[in-house]
């Protein structure tokens, strides 16, 4: 056990940290069983390692185990936890837990048998985590981690610190907030780079291979997670790829399931089940009509790729700027707010605010005479009255 701990301690001490302060602060580390989930590449391992680094625990009461790159010398996680707590262990951190057989049952048994041991686990296979969640539903507290916001990207690129902005403050004080940010940096100088390759932290490794890595993530989700875990027909994996390409290359239109099904040669029920799976894996975002009841067999009002970087990785054609704008807007709000399509404009947020998203020449026609309605415009540094720059919504988390 001592050698195992020293091996992992070496991994932790030699890691390059990416600052995700808000993620660490958000988690209640006093809980006995904590799950950190999120799509591949968003920085879950980095957040865990940063927590370990900042905890300044130098004795053997904390153990970090990565199931992604280490042959674990135990036949079960329960055995590992049992040995660890016998030697005074208090906190066990298990990275990529979904790669271990029967991981959910093992964590349940650890929780039930070792009340003084706190366990933190992460998983990149969201489908596998959701499938195994039954045994942990009354025990684990789950936190979902998103990719970098535009605000976090700017902090990394410029070295400046920017505070998060609440939506209710943004819509009222956006001119003042823009001026405060513009006193430090020119956001539009970095905005296109973020849209292209700024959502996933691995852009720090290389921007030249960024989209290749993103394509590999997409392939893994479709060919492994969706095929093996959800038992989809292997012949349909190519159709799912075609569906993603259609979404990436198209307009942010109101969804026509019949036409989509015909274009990828799938029946309606199968298509809707795949759309639901793609949403769960964070490859797409399904946005539903305001006030509608929805399930996995309900038609979304709009379907967008979950972040703008995916558009550039999936399609070989010129991306539609309208889709990019709406994808950015939704990706920056969805981790915090309830977002739906509005009846007379693009989006309704928390049943309170109405937003119409477009370029700098977009008019007020869609939102005229609507209460709490705002025009979100791309390619402007600061706004006026109910006209707000698109980039500012990247400061919500």
Write the DSSP string, 273-312: HHHHHHHHTTSEEEEPBTT----TTSPPSEEEESSHHHHH
Strands 353-358 and 347-349: antiparallel
Using the predicted structure, report yes or no on whether residue 94 has a pLDDT greater than 60.
Answer: yes
| Structural fold of domain 2-144 | Rossmann fold (3.40.50)
Q: Where are the domains of the chain?
A: 2-144, 153-395
**What pLDDT is attached to residue 138?**
85
pLDDT of 69: 63
The predicted model scores a pTM of: 0.90
Interatomic CA distance for residues 317 and 245, integer angstroms: 9
Q: What share of the chain is helix, strand, coil (3-state, %, to 5)?
A: 50, 15, 40
Query: Residue with structure tokens 């349940």?
Result: 108
Q: What is the pLDDT of residue 264?
A: 95
Query: What length does the chain have?
Result: 397
Which phi and psi (to 5°) does residue 185 adopt?
-155, 155
- Residue 2 CA to residue 197 CA, distance in Å, equals 41
**Quick one: tokens of 123?**
């998983």
Q: What angle do CA 263, 265, 267 make, to 5 degrees?
A: 110
Cβ-based neighbour number of residue 195 at 10 Å: 24
Portion of the chain with pLDDT greater than 90, in percent? 73
Q: What is the mean pLDDT of residues 51-70?
A: 84
Nearest Cα to Cα of residue 326 among 343, 344, 339: 339
- In DSSP terms, 374 is beta-bridged to 355
pLDDT of residue 8: 46
Q: Place 134 in a pLDDT band, splitting at 50, 70 and 90.
A: low
Looking at residue 70, its pLDDT comes to 60
**Region of 306 on the Ramachandran plot (φ > 0 left; ψ -120 to 50 alpha; else beta):** alpha
What pLDDT, on a 0 to 100 scale, did the predictor assign at position 12? 42
What is the band of 2 on the pLDDT scale with cuts at 50, 70, 90? very low
Whole-angstrom Cα distance, residue 289 to residue 254?
Answer: 10
Question: Can you tell me the distance from the alpha carbon of 164 to that of 169, in angstroms, rounded to the nearest whole number?
Answer: 10
- Residues 268-284 have a mean pLDDT of 94
> Per the structure block, which two tokens stand in for 273?
């089940």
Angle at 76 between CA 71 and CA 78, to 5 degrees: 130
| Angstrom distance (rounded) from CA 283 to CA 100 | 24
Q: Residue 11 has what pLDDT?
A: 42
CA angle, 129 as apex, 265 and 105 as ends, to 5°? Answer: 130
User: Binning pLDDT at 50, 70 and 90, where does residue 13 land?
Assistant: very low
């Amino acid at each position: 056990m001592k050698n195992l701990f020293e091996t992992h301690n070496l991994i932790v001490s030699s890691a390059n940290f990416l600052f995700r302060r808000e993620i660490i602060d958000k988690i209640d580390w006093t809980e006995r069983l904590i799950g950190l989930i999120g799509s591949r590449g968003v920085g879950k391992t980095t957040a865990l390692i940063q927590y370990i680094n900042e905890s300044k625990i130098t004795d053997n009461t904390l153990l970090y185990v990565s199931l992604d790159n280490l042959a674990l010398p135990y036949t079960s996680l329960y055995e590992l936890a049992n040995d660890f707590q016998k030697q005074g262990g208090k906190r066990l951190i298990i990275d990529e837990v979904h790669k271990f057989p029967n991981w959910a049952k093992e964590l349940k048994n650890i929780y039930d048998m070792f009340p003084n041991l706190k366990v933190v686990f992460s998983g990149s296979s969201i489908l596998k985590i959701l499938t195994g969640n039954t045994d942990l539903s009354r025990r684990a507290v789950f936190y979902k981690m998103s990719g970098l916001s535009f605000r976090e990207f700017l902090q990394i690129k410029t070295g400046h610190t920017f505070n998060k902005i609440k939506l209710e403050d943004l819509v009222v004080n956006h001119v003042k907030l823009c001026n405060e940010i513009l006193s430090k940096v020119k956001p539009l100088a970095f905005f296109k780079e973020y849209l292209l390759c700024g959502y996933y932290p691995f852009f720090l490794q290389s921007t030249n291979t960024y989209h290749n890595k993103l394509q590999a993530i997409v392939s893994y989700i479709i060919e492994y997670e969706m095929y093996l875990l959800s038992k989809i027909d292997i012949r349909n994996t190519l159709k799912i790829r075609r569906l993603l390409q259609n979404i990436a290359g198209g307009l942010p239109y109101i969804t026509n399931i019949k036409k989509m099904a015909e274009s990828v040669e799938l029946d309606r029920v199968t298509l809707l089940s795949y759309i639901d799976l793609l949403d769960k894996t964070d490859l797409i975002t399904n946005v539903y009509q305001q006030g509608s009841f929805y399930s996995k067999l309900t038609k979304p009002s709009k379907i967008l790729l979950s972040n703008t970087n995916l558009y550039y990785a999936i399609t070989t054609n010129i991306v539609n700027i309208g889709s990019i704008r709406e994808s950015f807007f939704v990706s920056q709000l969805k981790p915090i707010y309830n977002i739906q399509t509005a009846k007379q404009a693009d989006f309704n947020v928390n049943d309170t605010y109405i937003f119409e998203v477009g370029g700098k020449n977009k008019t007020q026609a869609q939102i005229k005479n609507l209460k709490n309605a705002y025009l979100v415009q791309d390619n402007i540094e600061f706004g006026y009255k109910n006209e707000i720059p698109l980039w500012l919504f990247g400061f919500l988390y």
